[in-house]
Structure 1
Amino acid sequence: MKLDILAIVAHPDDVELSFGGTLLAHQKQGYKTGILDLTKGELGTRGTPEIRAQEAKDAAEILQLSVRENLGLPDGFFENNKENQIKIAEQIRRFKPKLVITNAIYDRHPDHTRGAQLVETACFIAGLKAVKTAWDGEKQDAFRPDKLYFSIQSIAHEPDILVDISDVIEERRAAIHAFKSQFFDPNSKEPETFISSEGFMTMLDARSREWGHRIGVKYAEGFKVKHFLGVKSLFDLV
């Protein structure tokens, strides 16, 4: 299956918390979207890996993804090494996405920063003909995505790109709340975490509103880039 956008992130819920609206907005425009979660989030303070897997499945249905898979790397301990670069390169060559979106360039959670570095390296490796990979017993051709975008997570970096998600804001909220074990519940007996605090959802919503205001829409999600952006027409801009 060929995808237009492949999100490759460290944990289940990373996409939903930072750019789920963008994936859904593009899906509704006819693009094929998918998520590759690198880990099962098994070190999470709340819930269990089994609960998180079901939550990821529920969120995938809300986001109308063409595919969602998990690479099963060790949460908290995966490395940017040759073995993991090859594993991700196999998936990039398998799905041939035009765009890859990954974790934040820098974030409070070290998995996010390391995940972004690993995915950036794997995107480059996937385009090298001399790097040999196979999928389902067949040799894969070299392939490199056209663009790599970085999401913005808990640290509110200034975005380079803002995407209008106003038409899908309710679905974005629903996809986030699919991970109900991770977020605020006044009846929960589990320890409070950074993202389960009562004000966390309010902060997410306020940030999307503020970014939307910057481009004259109700809600937006932001991204960082490491390359120049170009358009064929100034009218392509919001």
Structure 2
Amino acid sequence: MKVDILAIGVHPDDIELGCAGTIINEIKNGKTVAIVDLTQGELGTRGTAETRYTEAAEAAKIMGVVARENLKMRDGFFTNDEAHKLQLIQAIRKYRPEIVLGNILNDRHPDHGRAGHLISDAFFLSGLSKIVTTDEAGNEQEKWRPKYFLQYIQDWYHEPDILLDISDVFEQKMQAIQAYGTQFHTSAADSESGQQTYISTPDFIESIVARARMLGKRIGVKYAEGFLSEKKIGIKSLDALVLRET
């Protein structure tokens, strides 16, 4: 399955929080997007691995992605070793994306940064022909290196290299986030009387909205998402720039 964009998140809901607006925008523009979750989020205080699968499927439906799968790495304890790199290389070669969206390299949750480095390494190694992987049917996969790995901003603020206007789809992004009723401040989560966590407070959701507004203000729009890129991004002409009156 060849897609335009592959979004990778270490926990189900990372992608929704970090880049759902961009995914929805690109799908509306005719792009195909698939999602790979590295873990089942089984260490989360609220909910279970089973509820996270249900919530992730609902969020995927809201965003409109063509596929979503879970690599079932061990939440909290996966490592950036050969076995995990090969597992992720196999997924990259399966979907053959032009762009990968993935976790930031340094963040409050140690899984985020560790996953970011794992994604970065697999992104590069996937393009080496002497690294052999096979698909589900046992057939050898062809090498594939996407053009860009863009890291979405998570809990800690990082100065973005790219800002994307998500104003037209922001409400849809928030619907995808709220699909995780066990995790965030929704009536469903409140009714479960689960233990309060960092992300289940009303303040957390308010901070997501506030950041989108702040990033949007930087480019003269209502809401935006930001990304970092290890690779410099070039353009062929100034026609690629969108000029806005402020």
Q: Could you say which TM-score interval applies, normalised by the shorter chain?
A: over 0.9
User: How many residues were matched structurally?
Assistant: 238
- The within-5 A match list for 1:70-149 is 70-135=70-135, 136-149=137-150
CA distance in 1, matches of 2:217, 2:240: 19
CA distance in 2, matches of 1:18, 1:123: 19
Are positions 1:156 and 2:157 aligned together? yes
Unaligned runs of 5+ in 2: none
Secondary structure of 2:128's aligned partner? coil
CA distance in 2, matches of 1:187, 1:134: 45
CA distance in 1, matches of 2:34, 2:172: 16
CA distance in 1, matches of 2:238, 2:48: 48
TM, length-normalised to structure 1: 0.98
Q: Which residue of 2 aligns with 1:233?
A: 237
TM, length-normalised to structure 2: 0.94
CA distance in 1, matches of 2:241, 2:13: 29
CA RMSD of aligned residues (A): 1.0
CA distance in 2, matches of 1:125, 1:228: 19
Secondary structure of 1:65's aligned partner? coil
CA distance in 2, matches of 1:198, 1:95: 36
> Residue 217 of structure 1: CA displacement?
1.2
> Residue 188 of structure 1: CA displacement?
4.1
CA distance in 1, matches of 2:219, 2:205: 22
> Residue 232 of structure 1: CA displacement?
1.5
CA distance in 2, matches of 1:118, 1:26: 25
CA distance in 2, matches of 1:196, 1:157: 23
Q: Which residue of 2 aligns with 1:209?
A: 213
Percent identical: 46
